[in-house]
């Protein structure tokens, strides 16, 4: 049975933020999840967990059954029944799964198209799969092709410039408001990729101190360690807001995590020192009323885009160009895979021909070249001609259609003349008569019965 690609998971498109948070897997937990997949009989799989998605990219002979198994593992992780979670998961198989894997690696399925983190996250998940012994030849081939497509997208389109320009705009506004960023403290609320990207840009620009908080404390604490920053429990967010000169929200839970009342109280405690707020989430994290507070300067991604003078038309053109590259790469990958799938059959045919050639030479030593080649052709065509006759003799008529299809395939495989009469079998020069029989003189080879 042929192995097929499939993907199952939950993303910002399919799943609520609360469920996605519970499903999110920290890097230290990934080996255990891969071990569960292996124990369930899924021998080629990668567990990808980012702020936008948690999904398994895998290969299996029965992809739908394997996807149901993984759905059960995911449901157990979030403490829901499989039917309750099923509506928040997506499952893709075959070509759709391949295209999805390419799109994810190329940052075309991210909340912020072109954000640069995802490719590194895919490669990290790939390394975990390889370490667990779950990166077989089919999965390896798919991922290497996806990486090549991502490289082309980065090289041939300006798709990454949009995300980079948003970060540069955030740094510019922060400096305009606060001056030297070394004296500033930043607070990251949530762990979305765009928010993390903005904070990285601010730190590169000299941000003095960073605190990380998120609705799930264990995730925030792990992220704080990775980012070499401070951790604040979500229960202490009001205290963290008081000390923050720059607040970046990146939770995307579908509800506001920063209210006007919250920030108003923090500004009062700050004695009206201004706060720069970047809402880097989709959907929005910041209550619109926050923008009405004195000394609160709120920018969402659209505002930053306008600061960066990044036109929407240009971004859409870059995205379309990137999708064109992905579709070309997917088609090339599918063609190469089909070509590789034909290799065993071609090899078997070549081996059969070589075996018959050697057998004939052993049996008919001293035969001249013309006779030897004629006998070899007859031997090689005997089996196919018998099969064609059997199809034509099928009493219910089904064999006639099968024979016609077989003949069409023979004409294609051996590039026979297009005007060859249909239904006549292989005639001139093959040792077969119009009815598909061996010519009279070649019905029996010296020293060997015709098989």
Catalytic residues: 51
15 is in an annotated binding site: no
Burial class (CB in 10 A: 0-12, 13-18, 19+), 62: middle
- Residue 416 in marked binding region: no
- 194 annotated to a ligand binding site: yes
Q: Report the C-alpha gap between 305 and 299 in whole angstroms.
A: 10
Is 447 known to sit in a ligand binding site? no
Q: Is the peptide bond before 283 cis (omega within 30 degrees of 0)?
A: yes
d(CA 178, CA 184): 8
| 285 assigned ligand-binding residue | no
First to last CA, the chain: 31
74 annotated ligand binder: no
Instruction: Output the DSSP codes for 314-344.
Output: HHHHHHHHHHHHHHHHHHHHHHHHHHHHHHH
Q: % helix / strand / coil in the chain, to the nearest 5?
A: 55, 15, 30
190 labeled part of a ligand binding site:
yes
Q: Tell me: is residue 51 an annotated ligand-binding position.
A: yes
In the sheet with 230-231, reading across from the earlier edge strand, the strands are: 230-231, 209-213, 185-189, 246-249, 275-279, 296-300
Q: Let me know how many helices (H) and strands (E) the chain has, helices first.
A: 16, 10
| Dihedral over alpha carbons 101, 102, 103, 104 (to 10 degrees) | 50
Task: Decide: helix, strand or coil at residue 248.
Answer: strand
Place of tokens 């604490």: 221
Please tell me whether residue 299 adopts helix, strand or coil conformation: strand
Rounded Cα distance, 232 and 217, in Å: 8
Assign residue 144 a region (left: φ > 0; alpha: ψ between -120 and 50; beta: otherwise). alpha
Binding site: what residues are annotated?
50-53, 110, 121, 190-195
Binding site for substrate: what residues are annotated?
50-53, 110, 121
Binding site for NADP(+): what residues are annotated?
190-195
């Amino acid at each position: 049975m042929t192995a097929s690609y499939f993907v199952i998971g939950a993303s910002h498109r399919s799943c609520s933020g609360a469920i996605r948070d519970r499903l999110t897997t920290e890097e230290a937990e990934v080996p255990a999840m891969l071990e569960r997949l292996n124990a369930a009989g899924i021998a080629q799989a990668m567990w990808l967990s980012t702020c936008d998605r948690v999904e398994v990219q895998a290969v299996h002979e029965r992809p739908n059954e394997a996807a149901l198994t993984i759905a059960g593992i995911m449901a157990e992780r979030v403490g829901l029944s499989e039917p309750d979670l099923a509506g928040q998961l997506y499952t893709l198989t075959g070509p759709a799964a391949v295209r999805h894997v390419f799109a994810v690696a190329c940052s075309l399925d991210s909340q912020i198209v072109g954000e640069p983190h995802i490719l590194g996250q895919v490669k990290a998940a790939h390394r975990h799969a390889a370490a667990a012994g779950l990166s077989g030849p089919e999965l390896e081939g798919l991922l290497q092709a996806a990486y090549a497509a991502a490289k082309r997208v980065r090289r041939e389109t300006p798709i990454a410039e949009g995300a980079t320009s948003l970060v540069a705009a955030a740094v510019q506004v922060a400096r305009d408001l606060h001056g030297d960023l070394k004296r500033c403290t930043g607070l990251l609320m949530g762990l979305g990729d765009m928010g993390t990207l903005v904070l990285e840009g601010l730190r590169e620009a000299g941000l003095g101190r960073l605190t990380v908080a998120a609705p799930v404390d264990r995730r925030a604490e792990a992220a704080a360690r990775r980012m070499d920053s401070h951790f604040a429990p979500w229960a202490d967010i009001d205290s963290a807001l008081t000390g923050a000169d720059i607040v970046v929200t990146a939770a995307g839970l579908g509800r506001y995590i920063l209210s006007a009342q919250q920030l108003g109280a923090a500004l009062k405690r700050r004695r009206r020192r201004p706060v720069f707020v970047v809402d880097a989430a989709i959907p929005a994290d910041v209550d619109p009323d926050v923008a009405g507070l004195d000394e609160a300067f709120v920018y969402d991604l659209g505002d930053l885009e306008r600061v960066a003078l990044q036109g929407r038309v240009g971004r859409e053109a870059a995205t379309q160009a990137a999708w064109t590259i992905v579709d070309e790469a997917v088609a090339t990958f599918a063609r190469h895979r089909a070509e590789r799938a034909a290799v065993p059959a071609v090899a078997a045919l070549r081996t059969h021909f070589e075996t018959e050639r050697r057998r004939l030479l052993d049996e008919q030593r001293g035969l001249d070249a013309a006779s030897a080649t004629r006998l070899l052709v007859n031997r090689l065509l005997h089996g196919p001609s018998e099969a064609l006759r059997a199809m034509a003799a099928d009493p219910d008529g089904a064999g006639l259609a099968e024979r016609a299809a077989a003949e069409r395939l023979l004409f294609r495989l051996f590039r026979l003349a297009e005007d060859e009469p249909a239904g006549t079998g292989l005639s001139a020069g093959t040792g077969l008569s119009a009815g598909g029989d061996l010519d009279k003189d070649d019905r029996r080879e010296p020293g060997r019965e015709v098989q």
